[in-house]
A = this chain, B = another copy of it.
C-alpha cells in the first residue's frame, strides 16, 4: 500500500488506531492481566517484568481507556462539582483547588453548571451526574430542601459546600457572623443607610449563603439601632454585572445609601465602577464592603470578608475522597473561619461621627 497523503512524522501514522492493553501485552510478551497490574503498580509483578511492560507501554504511547477500566472497576474515577456558574472568580478558583487535590489520586473533576440549557430545572430533572461520577460536591446553588433531597436521593455520595442540610455532610463558613462583622464595621463608622447587594428572596438559586448574610446584615443594623429596609436589599447575581446592576438600582433611590455591603468582591467592583461613574467618591461619599477577598481586592483597596477558597476547596476534596472509601455514618458539618480585611473602600459616614472602628484582620 503506497503511503497516503497524510502526515507521517516517523513515530506514528496519523489516524492509526491507538494501542490497547492487548498490544502492550503482546509487545512485552506477557498477559494483559500482568500489564494491568504492572501499569497500576499493583503488587505481585516481578521487577524485570514491570520494566518490560513499562517500556512496551511507553513505546506504544499506551494510555488505558478510562471507559473500559471504569466499567470493569465499577467506578467512574470522576467526581462532580455542582456550581451555579463557572465564570465567577470564586467558583473557578474552587474548581481548580478541588481538581488539584483529586487529580493527584487519579480522579478527574467534572463541572455541572446551572447556566447551561434548561438551567436548574433541567439539572434536577435529569440528574445528569448519575453514572458519571463517584461522588458529588454541591456548592451553594440549590437550597430548597426538596432540591437537595432530590440530589441526595440519587444515591451518589455527596458533600455540600456553603450550605448545611440534613441530607448530606457539609462544609460551610459562618455567613451570619461574617456579614454581621462586615456590616458592623460600617455601622461602627457611623453608617446607618446601608444597602446589601446580593440575592435573598427571589434568587433562583436560593443561595442560602445570601439568606444567612442577610441575617447578619440585619443583625448588625439592629444592633446599631436601625431597621433593615427592604428597598435596600437588592437581589442580584454574584458577578461584576450583577453588582453593577444592583448598584444602579440603589443609586436611583430617592435616598441612596451611604454604604453598601456586596455579597462578592466581583459585585463590589462592578458596583464601585457604577457608583464612581455616577459621581460618588469612594469612600468619602460611599463606603463599600465586599466578600471573598478576590485577588484583585488588595489591588483596588477593597474592604472585604476574606474566605479561604483554596483551603475550603482542598478540604472539601479530601472529605469527598474520604466519603468514597469509608462513607460516613453521621453527617459531619464543618465550619471554617473567615475574617474581615479593612482597606481603603470604607470610611466614616460623611458628616457623621464614627463610633468604633475594628482594625484590619479582625476575626469573625
Contacts and interface: CB of A to CB of B under 8 A. Distances in A.
Contact of A296 (B100, B270, B299): B270
Contacts of A272: 273
A116 interface: yes
- A86, A91, A117, A131 interface centre (most CB from chain B within 10 Å): A86
Contacts of A85: 92, 96
Contact of A93 (B87, B116, B266, B274): B87
Contacts of A241: 294-296, 299
A244 B299 contact: yes
A101 to B, nearest CB: 9
A119 B294 CA distance: 21
A67 interface: yes
Interface in A88-126: 88-89, 91-93, 95-96, 99-100, 103-104, 108, 110-111, 113, 115-117
A296 B244 contact: yes
A48 interface: no
Given A66-B132, A116-B103, A132-B66, A245 B86 contact: no
Interface residues of A, number: 65
A49 B267 CA distance: 54
A15 interface: yes
Given A153-B9, A274-B299, A96 B71 contact: no
Nearest to A87: B92
Interface string A305-331: 000000000000000000000000000
- A66, A240, A274 interface centre (most CB from chain B within 10 Å): A240
Nearest to A96: B115
A155 interface: yes
A266 B239 CA distance: 11
B18 A155 contact: yes
Contact of A15 (B64, B93, B155): B155
Contacts of A12: 153, 155
A276 interface: yes
A155 B14 contact: yes
Interface in A252-300: 266, 269-270, 272-274, 276-277, 294-296, 299-300
A299 B296 CA distance: 19
B131 A116 contact: no
Contacts of A76: 67
A16 interface: yes
Nearest to A153: B9
A71 B91 CA distance: 32
A65 interface: yes
A1 interface: no
Contact of A301 (B14, B91, B277, B301): B277
A277 B300 contact: yes
A70 interface: yes
Contacts of A88: 87, 92
A3 to B, nearest CB: 17
Contacts of A18: 130-131, 155
A282 to B, nearest CB: 9
- A70, A91, A274, A296 interface centre (most CB from chain B within 10 Å): A296
19 contacts: A11-B153, A12-B155, A18-B130, A67-B70, A68-B71, A85-B96, A86-B87, A89-B240, A99-B113, A99-B117, A100-B117, A104-B117, A239-B295, A240-B269, A241-B295, A241-B296, A273-B300, A274-B300, A277-B344
